[in-house]
Amino acid sequence: MSSGGHYVGLIDRYRARLPVTDETRIVSLSEGNTPLIELQNLSNDVARECQIYVKFEGLNPTGSFKDRGMTMAVTQALSEGAEAIICASTGNTSASAAAYAARAGMRSFVLIPDGKIALGKLAQAMIQGAVVMQIQGNFDDGMRIVKEMAHAAPVTIVNSINPYRLQGQKTAAFEIVDALGRAPDYHCIPVGNAGNISAYWTGFSEYAGVKPATAACAYCDTDCVFDFAPECDSRPVMLGYQAAGSAPFIAGSMVDDPETVATAIRIGRPQSWDLAWAASRESGGWFDSFTDAEILATQKFLASSEGLFCEPASAISVAGALADIASGKIPAGSIVTCTLTGHGLKDPDTAISQSAGGVIKVAAESDAVKRAILENL
């Protein structure tokens, strides 16, 4: 499929840096090319300190960043002749896998945790024709079983342990540098299974012409990044944020019973543990955690002050940026980018439950509506 100037997805846009050839049949929904939006309505103190931009990944075709990895993983699976894909998921991976499988004419199997999945994500997987298996366990249980299926059934795993996922996801870092004309000083990102922070580090490193010490490269272990002139001369410090009840990177070890309102990142045994630590160490970054109350307050702030409705897990990147600017860990004058990984519409229940009083019952009469307007101006 050739673009002829019309945007047809991230593989087409960055094909020289991705593991495809001219013959590859690309499975795409025109994902990527998401906006980088500067926050405008922060309190004066914070606003004076830094420029903060959000990469709104909720505007991908299935409403999350997972589409970047899925276009690459399903394209590869199809080129290898796979007939079916499988993943464990807290929700977004399943929604994306189901969509790209439908696009490719493949079967998809998804394992989701018992309860604790946002309604929108479940709806997506179901209507897009996935075989949805709700297991009596959490994401980590699902991940263990999916890995066992690699040898037990004819299915290709499309969780981020599939290196093609990270190759697709690294393009978000390219887009940020392309949009800013330089690398940010700090990049803030939610961490669950830890694939995305690893992919961003790969992307930022590749664009700076530096091979990361621990590379997440699907198709070679050579110095291929040096085939390109660098696009920028620095890499950001990588800051990974977790929910307090699901924070293995803060604990320094795996967590058995992860809990958080941010169900997307309710993960205790991240698969990309080593890659994420490498990204953090190499970049001089850190991990931190935030409570559910802090996560929800930031989600509400972004929606009500900036018009940016992201899901709870995504808001943690901005919670982290604001806290680290306030404490001085991120110095004044920095350019800070935050990934908003998923759209708020994914999880309407959580949004509604924290907006109590947001709906006023009014009689179907002009006077009553006028009174309500004047009382609420």
Backbone angles phi, psi at 296, to 5 degrees: -65, -35
Measured at the CA of 63, the angle between CA 12 and CA 80, to 5 degrees, comes to 45
The token pair at 275 is 């890659």
Of 34, 60, 64, 299, the residue at the interface with ligand AN7 (CB under 6 A) is 64
Q: 243-255: buried (b, 16+ CB within 10 Å) or exposed (e) per residue?
A: bbbbbbbbeeeeb
Q: Which stretch binds ligand AN7 (CB under 6 A): 86-94, 100-108, 211-219, 350-358?
A: 86-94
User: What is the spatial distance between Cα 267 and Cα 272, in angstroms, rounded to a whole number?
Assistant: 12
Considering the complex, what minimum distance in angstroms separates the CB of residue 272 from ligand AN7? Answer: 7
Mask: binding to ligand AN7, 115-154, rule CB under 6 A, as x and -? ----------------------------------------
Closest CB to ligand AN7 among residues 28, 341: 341
d(CA 55, CA 34): 7
Of 26, 77, 238, 264, the one binding ligand AN7 by CB under 6 A:
264
- Per CB under 6 A, the list member of 18, 72, 117, 194 interacting with ligand AN7 is 194
Provide, rounded to whole angstroms, the least separation between the CB of residue 150 and ligand AN7.
Answer: 17
C-alpha 313/C-alpha 341 separation (Å) is 8
Distance of CA 197 to the CA centre of its chain: 9
Residues contacting residue 261 through CB under 8 Å, at least 6 positions apart: 243, 292, 295, 296, 312, 350
Whether the Cβ atoms of residue 257 and residue 266 lie closer than 8 Å to each other: no
For ligand AN7, the binding residue among 172, 302, 313, 338 (CB under 6 A) is 313
Q: Counting contacts by CB under 6 A, is residue 113 touching ligand AN7?
A: no
Complex with ligand AN7: residue 8 or 296, whichever CB lies closer? 296
Closest by alpha carbon to 65, among 203, 258, 215? Answer: 203
Q: How far is the CB of 172 from ligand AN7 (least distance, A)?
A: 11
Q: Does 314 bind ligand AN7 (CB under 6 A)?
A: yes
Query: Among 60, 89, 162, 202, which residue interacts with ligand AN7 (rule: CB under 6 A)?
Result: 89
Nearest residue to 162 (alpha-carbon basis) of 222, 77, 64: 77
Residue type, 46: V
- 20 touches ligand AN7 (CB under 6 A): no
248 binds ligand AN7 (CB under 6 A): no
Check binding of 183 to ligand AN7 (CB under 6 A). no
Smallest distance, ligand AN7 to C-beta of residue 264, A: 3
Which residues are at the interface with ligand AN7 (CB under 6 A)?
A: 64, 89-93, 160, 190-196, 264-265, 311, 313-314, 341-342
